[in-house]
Structure 1
Amino acid sequence: MRHPADSKTWKDVDQKWPDFASETRNLRLALSSDGFNPFHGNRTDYSSWPVLLSIYNLPSWLCMKRRYIMLCLLISGPTEPGNDIDVFLQPLIEDLQELWRGKQMYDAYKKESFMLRGILLWTISDYPALGNLSGNVIKGYNACTICIDETKATRLVNYRKTVIMRHRRWFPRNHPYRRQKSAFDNTVEKGVAPVPLTGEEVFQRVQHLRAHVFGKKQRQPRWKKGEPRPVWKKVSIFFQLEYWEFLPVRHVLDVMHIEKNICEALLGTLLNIPGKTKDRESVRLDMAEMGIRTELRPKTPGNKEKIESELLDGHNNIPEEIRWIAEGPNKNVPTFSGYRINGVTFNTKERDDTRQVQCSGVCVVTDIMLIQGKEKNIEHTSQTYYGVITSIWELDYNKFRVPIFRCNWVDMNRGVKVDDLGYTIINLNKLGFVNDPFVLGKHVKQVCYIDDPLEKHWYVVLKLPEKNWYEQCDDENDGSVEIELENELHLPMFPNVDELDEEKLVICGTKMNGFNSHDVTNVIIEPDFIVARFCPIPWKSLFDCIIGFMDMPN
């Protein structure tokens, strides 16, 4: 093909809209878009997306010149628009719709007025941008925009990538390559190539996506096992052009990316260029598992075999604990409803629901390294995560045992905040970190959660003082994991609330006698003081969950 005028799309436009083809001055356009980093030299992550229009009415040696290419949009970064590129393309689509209907223009050369019309033939992009413009899924098991849901993809276990196979379906039925098993994937190809969908068929199959809402915060529903895998992400905005669904080819790939990627892969593999070659140990393992080129299977042991051989070698200076950990724990894992660590008893939430003492609340303090600003300054800070123990496991490594807690952790963005008094309050219904529920028992600290009467479903975090006493077991309670706290709260000297005019009351030491119980809503225990907020609710119900903490030794 010497010029786009030789393409099937150009000829179909002339045949379907002869009135458009009769006017040689009507424009035939192509849209191109891709992202680039204007600050690449400064090592800054930034992505700008220009949208260009090329005019195909010009001869082949002029239509790709810079002076004849129009910059219609420049989508600034710092991140790529992704699936939301349709939002930025909306003004351009409206102009293309008006151009298709026609605009009255004046030809200065012929000195006459005429109706100028234009049509967008296709878009030009690399493969990731094609997914943004067309709405096709371009990753996973339906990544081929031609095969759609008939894509034959295979997951390479060792290489950890999904590859599209069955390319020999496009060969003629009697082609010798169809029968060459060892040269391809160890199978004889008997299938027939799928027929690409027309624009009208695609438009019909994406109607269920019309309700898609654009925006970075919109999450696509996760695919569930047993359901058909998705093929499209959205209805492409180009279908708003009334002629778009009748075009035979709507999206094309640019030659530069194809040539670059294929040439780099071929040359890098043939010349064994480090970082460019595809001949890796994982690839040879996958080929051997498929039954092809088995002679190339790596003979050197993998990482797992190397570690096992080093552990078996008695001359290596490897600690005994590491050897037992490498063997793995006993597969029979005991579970507990309560567990004592360094004199502190931890219970599961199910056990706490049947008791007056709360021992299931925990927190974990972690160190975080933040990189801020253009200068990438490093700052160290701490982050506290709050949760509730749901189960307690004990991993048995024969020589030692490791207790771990499975917890429901509170989402740090939606479920944790600080109130006006400076106290941390959490919402135990807003959970996060569902894929990382476990924590070592020695890494947690015990906390208590008290209902916040000012906000429903929110709890005030009570951090308990550190204990300097250790577990002392007698013969009668040997092996017990339960800590019995006092069932009554002894408050010897409460002051009278009616004599105080302050909005907040701080109760220190033991001068607490005579406290008016019906004026208190919430009490927050700190190591040396209690802060009480006032509201007419029963005093006793508030203190049921903190019975026993006041008289515990420091």
Structure 2
Amino acid sequence: MQHPSDGDAWKALDSFDPEFASEERNVRIGLATDGFTPFSMTAASYSCWPVFAIPYNLPPEDCMTDEFMFLSLIIPGKEHPGTNLNVMLEPLIEELKELWKGVEAYDSNMKQKFKLRAAYLWSIHDYLAYGIFAGWRVSGRLGCPICGKETDCFGSIRVGSYVTSIVIGVFFLWTTPSGSEHRSSGRTPLSRRNPLSVAPGFGETHNWTHKCGLWELPYMRALQLPHNIDVMHQERNMCEALFNTVMDFLDKTKDNFKARVDLGNICNRPTLMLRENGGKPRAEFALRPNEQKEVIKWMKDLKFLDGYGAGFRRSVNLKTMKINGLKSHDYHIMMERLIPVMFRGYINDEVWKAIAELSYFYRQLCVKEISKEMMRN
């Protein structure tokens, strides 16, 4: 697989409308959006949402490049648009309807006019924006838009939260463009089922919050992956959590006091149980202070080619033993190349192999070419 056209999602749309597929000049479009603060973080809060349209009828080397991403919409506002995002998308949805019917275009190569059609293929965003696009509340026990009520999540005795690692892992595989190869059960994902505007059972049998305007598109049911998570968002979050936990940074580790309380209620791990005086035994995967210094010093001395991973040296503070200001690309390099190296020899082999396999998974996910057999495995 080298191009979106190699995936099942592309072929499913072709099967839905063979006439659309027969014209090679017809365009498949992806939409990408996320909120950002155009001013400094210390200024007044402001959430601006650009929406980019990305045509995929291009060679692999041109797909997702700057010159072929088009700013189709800007949603300004002091606050997060929430479900109002669908209202703001209405002009764009109306254009997508018109493009599905076809518009007159000119082929400069063939020197002739023809009827150009275009179709929405999928959207790309972070997990929270996924909920807005899909019309699904992405929190609580039914937070996974794919699993819904068919989940193994269970409540935590401590705060009533939910253990979602398995669900999020399955959800991540299902929502990547090549993730359709993992669907062994054959069931239809919830994000492909037309939701009711008002349906009973909210929070018990479903988490539908609203009907997204994209359902007005006549081919919406044919889309296998209408919504996708941005890998860079997920990879950054995973890398940051993994690094802080193994480094045992008290203010950022996921192995905190509350997690140990849950551990005592759910798991049989006597060596990790909180002591009577409230002390927290050190986990096998947590580095000692002298080991932390060695890892931080190693990161400070790293040298890379310009543009590859130049952010590490300026982000590492040897005095405070902290790392601040890394960008998503830095975490990308860190997760796929550095994590297995920096922790080898400090933790036991079983934990290190699990971390190395996770790193390998992300490397395979981000390669330019991958076999379907690899995705199945």
Deviation at 1:152, TM superposition (A): 2.8
In 2, Cα distance between equivalents of 1:301 and 1:159: 22
C-alpha contact (below 8 Å) 1:30/1:56 kept by paired residues: yes
Q: Provide the rounded CA distance (Å) in 2 between the counterparts of 1:255 and 1:93.
A: 25
In the aligned structure 2, how far is the partner of 1:200 from the partner of 1:125? 15
| CA RMSD between the two structures | 2.8
1:18, distance to aligned residue in structure 2 (A): 1.6
CA distance in 1, matches of 2:137, 2:169: 22
Q: Give the equivalent residue in structure 2 for 1:102.
A: 102
Q: Secondary structure at the match of 2:155?
A: strand
Structure 1 residue aligned with 2:149? 149
Measure how far apart 1:107 and its partner are: 1.3
Deviation string for 1:12-39 (max 9, x for gaps)? 1222222111111111110011111111
1:44 aligns with 2:56: no
1:165 positional shift: 5.8
2:196 to 194, 198, 207: 207
Higher-strand-fraction structure: 1
C-alpha contact 1:150 1:194 (8 A) present in aligned 2: no
Relative to total residues, which structure has the larger helix share, 1 or 2? Answer: 2
Q: For 1:53 and 1:270, how far apart are their aligned partners in 2?
A: 39
Q: Does 1:124 align with 2:148?
A: no
Tell me, yes or no, if the aligned pair for 1:30 and 1:55 is still in contact at 8 Å: yes
Query: Relative to 1, partners in 2 of residues 1:131 and 1:299: Cα closer, same or farther, differing over 3 Å?
Result: same
Structure 1 letter corresponding to 2:84: D
- Call closer, same or farther: CA 1:198–1:145 in 2, change over 3 Å: closer
What is the Cα deviation at residue 194 of structure 1? Answer: 6.7
What are the ranges of 5 or more consecutive residues in structure 2 without an aligned counterpart?
171-182, 280-377
The reply on whether 1:261 has 2:237 as its aligned counterpart is yes
Offset from partner CA, 1:508-540 (integer Å, 9 cap, x none): xxxxxxxxxxxxxxxxxxxxxxxxxxxxxxxxx
- Aligned match of 2:204 in 228, 231, 243? 228
Alignment of 1:79-94 (within 5 A): 79-94=79-94
CA displacement at 1:272 relative to structure 2: 1.3
Alignment of 1:479-490 (within 5 A): none
Cα distance per residue 1:200-248 (max 9 Å; x no partner): 9611xx22539xxxxxxxxxx997xxx8354200111111000011111
Q: How does 1:388-427 map to 2 (within 5 A)?
A: none
CA-CA distance at 1:169 after TM superposition: 11
C-alpha change, 1:157 and 1:267, in structure 2 (3 Å) is: same
Shift of 1:148: 1.0
> Residue 200 and residue 146 in structure 1: after superposition, are their counterparts in 2 closer, same or farther (change >3 A)?
closer
Aligned to 1:133: 133
Q: Write the distance in 2 (CA, Å) between the matches of 1:36 and 1:139.
A: 22
Given that 1:200 and 1:245 are in contact with CA atoms closer than 8 Å, whether structure 2 keeps it comes out as no
Please list, as runs of the form range in 1=range in 2, the aligned pairs for 1:292-441 lying within 5 A after superposition: 292-302=268-278
- Asked if structure 1 preserves the Cα contact closer than 8 Å seen for 2:31 and 2:54, the reply is yes
| 2:197 aligned with 1:197 | no
2:262 match: 286
- CA radius of gyration, larger in: 1
Three-state SS of the structure 2 residue aligned to 1:207 is coil
Shift of 1:160: 6.0
Shift of 1:8: 0.5
Aligned identity (percent) is 36
- Describe the shift of the 1:42–1:164 C-alpha distance in structure 2 as closer, same or farther (beyond 3 A): closer
Amino acid at match of 2:112: E
| Aligned counterparts of 2:45 and 2:184: Cα–Cα separation in 1 | 41
Query: Higher relative contact order by CA 8 Å / sep ≥ 6: 1 or 2?
Result: 2
| 1:209 aligned partner, one-letter code | V
Q: How many Å apart are 1:280 and its aligned residue?
A: 0.7
Alpha-carbon separation, structure 1, partners of 2:93 and 2:211:
14
1:6 corresponds to which residue?
Answer: 6
Q: Which runs of 5 or more structure 1 residues have no equivalent in the other structure?
A: 171-191, 211-220, 304-554
Distance 1:27 1:48, change over 3 A: same
Deviations 1:443-475 (A, max 9, x none): xxxxxxxxxxxxxxxxxxxxxxxxxxxxxxxxx
Mapped contact 2:29–2:119 kept (Cα < 8 A) = yes
Deviation at 1:40, TM superposition (A): 2.6
SS, match of residue 46 in structure 2: coil
Q: CA deviation at 1:294?
A: 2.4
TM-score by length of 2: 0.65
CA distance in 1, matches of 2:19, 2:201: 47
